[in-house]
Structure 1
Amino acid sequence: MQGDTAVAERGYGKCGCAFKVAVLSAVFAGWTTAVTSAEDINLYAAGSLKAALTDVAKAFEQKSGGQQSVKTTFGPSGLLRGRIEKGEPAHVFASANMAHPKKLAEAGKISGSVKMFARNQLCALVKPGLAVTSETLLDTMLDEKVRVGTSTPKADPSGDYAFALFAKAEPLKAGAQAKLESKALKLTGGPDSAKPPEGRHLYAWVMSEDRADLFLTYCTNAVLAKKDTPSLVIVDIPNALAVGADYGLAVMASAPAEADALANFILGPDAQAILAEYGFGKGDDVRPAGK
């Protein structure tokens, strides 16, 4: 930078003041652009994506040859949306539903359209010793002695999906929806929800702390929880109660161009292979290999 400035001064002397100012302005403008292009890409993503998108971010950085850096922030999608609405500098938002990024789109805060990049399903995470199968799951949840845990609706889509499951129970057993909604313990995903110790998986910790007998969460979360605490049992949701989770991806309108590159990478085959390793299905807007 000093060398560029010195050349400008030597070449035009004292009589080229106006031109020299223009040259200096161009030099500093170029410096500012360089700094901006080197800034971190801020990826805000659902907590259920933490393990997978941490690996995806590393793969993206490696593929860029170290030219790009991704800063990740994970949490309940609804709370992240609220933080973005209040002005936090997210560049890419990966939500556990389509509704939260679409809400940002309605407010004019995103560039382009919301893309469905992944899918998930709900599973039941069950404490050791509780006898339950897919066939007996509904009766078990309705048992007054069984504590059913969920995440917090509206703040965390996982809670919304759990309550959607409760609604699907109503045609199977009259009164089931109201009973399940009233007994559900909203243990995670809220602004004041308890946090696990460093290094513990959230849902494994909740279950090991005996806060619930059965917890409805994403199947991907359940798999990671069982890795943390092998004694936990994963029970598949029966088809009659099954609820799918569609994950939405959006690039903020104020984001640098590099954010589009990250979003495209997430939609591409390399990132999708990583997501698949963690149990996520492909969304409708995933790019085929070679495109």
Structure 2
Amino acid sequence: MPTRAPADRESRRKPAKGARATASGRPVVLFAAGSLKAALGEVAAAFTAETGVPVRAEFGPSGVLRKRIEGGEAADVFASANMAHPAALRDAGRTEQVFPFARNRLCAIVRPGLAVDSAGLLDAMLDPAVRVAISTPGADPSGDYAMALFDRADALRPGAAAALRAKALRLTGAPDSPAPPDGRNPYGWVIGGNRADLFLTYRTNARLAQADTPGLAIVAVPDALAVGAEYGLAVLHGASDHAADLAACILSMRGQEILRSYGFGQL
């Protein structure tokens, strides 16, 4: 990680609780990937409890959030499910640096009654009778990672990538994707509602989906198909006074512990 990262500021900041937040009345606006909702929701709550600085969080597909920022919406901190979207903002002069802060990995969520294991995952995905769902490429990095997995499958079985790209249902991640009812996990809702038989998504999402919809199976992607995800963090130019402090909290030991507790990998 580069020197003088936001995390370096953590040892220097000891603000009186609520002091500057009261003076400005402005919360730190966090735009973050939907897969981070539970984890960064807890980090933001811990940050506010420690500093008195409120956080207003907007969670959604990273590509959609990036376009909102590019379109002029005000955001202070951007936490993306890949490095590419914040890097594009850096290249456009919207931020100075992008810091990796978490890792994830794809797995498969499988509906009850469909017998699939890791060794047979590719066969199941290629079965014409099995409805395979992914998130929307371009709008959501999860969909981009799924496309990379399909490309890896082609090395094992020529033609697999084209077949999987053609059959994959883009059921989440787009601006017009159907939204689940309040309180429901989108992946559990999709599988539980019989909209797909198998959903490729992050292992962190799979844990939450399984808690939402009992009976779902989580199947690890075999090493030959495995695709990892690296998450990127940026403080945007023109951000509020405490934006770098929130970024420091996410990068801190406590922030990393919270992320790990939700299944995110260590950097």
Question: TM-score scaled by structure 2?
Answer: 0.91
SS of aligned partner of 2:157: coil
Residues 39-54 of structure 1 correspond to what in structure 2 (within 5 A)?
39-54=26-41
Structure 1 CA distance for aligned equivalents of residues 199 and 87 of structure 2: 28
Residues 202-221 of structure 1 correspond to what in structure 2 (within 5 A)?
202-221=186-205
Confirm or deny: 8 A CA contact 1:46 1:75 kept in the other structure: yes
* Structure 1 residue 281: Cα displacement: 1.1
Residue number in structure 1 paired with 2:134: 150
Residue number in structure 1 paired with 2:16: none
* Structure 1 residue 35: Cα displacement: 7.0
Residue number in structure 1 paired with 2:64: 79
Structure 2, unaligned runs of 5 or more: 1-19
Equivalent pairs, count: 248
* Structure 1 residue 38: Cα displacement: 3.1
Structure 2 CA distance for aligned equivalents of residues 135 and 36 of structure 1: 58
Query: Within the alignment, does 1:107 sit opposite 2:98 as a pair?
Result: no
Residue number in structure 2 paired with 1:255: 239
Structure 2 CA distance for aligned equivalents of residues 245 and 205 of structure 1: 23
Structure 1, unaligned runs of 5 or more: 1-32, 284-291
Deviations 1:107-150 (A, max 9, x none): 1001x310000000001000001011000000110001100000
Residues 161-200 of structure 1 correspond to what in structure 2 (within 5 A)?
161-200=145-184
Provide the alpha-carbon RMSD of the alignment. 1.2
SS of aligned partner of 2:104: strand
Confirm or deny: 8 A CA contact 2:21 2:54 kept in the other structure: no
Match of 2:252 among 257, 263, 268: 268
Residue number in structure 2 paired with 1:234: 218
Q: Which runs of 4+ in 1 moved over 6 A?
A: 33-36
Structure number with higher relative contact order (C-alpha < 8 Å, ≥ 6 residues apart): 2
- Which amino acid is 2:238 matched to? S
Structure that is richer in helix per residue: 1
Structure 2 CA distance for aligned equivalents of residues 265 and 57 of structure 1: 8
* Structure 1 residue 209: Cα displacement: 1.0
Question: TM-score scaled by structure 1?
Answer: 0.84
SS of aligned partner of 1:132: coil
* Structure 1 residue 256: Cα displacement: 1.9
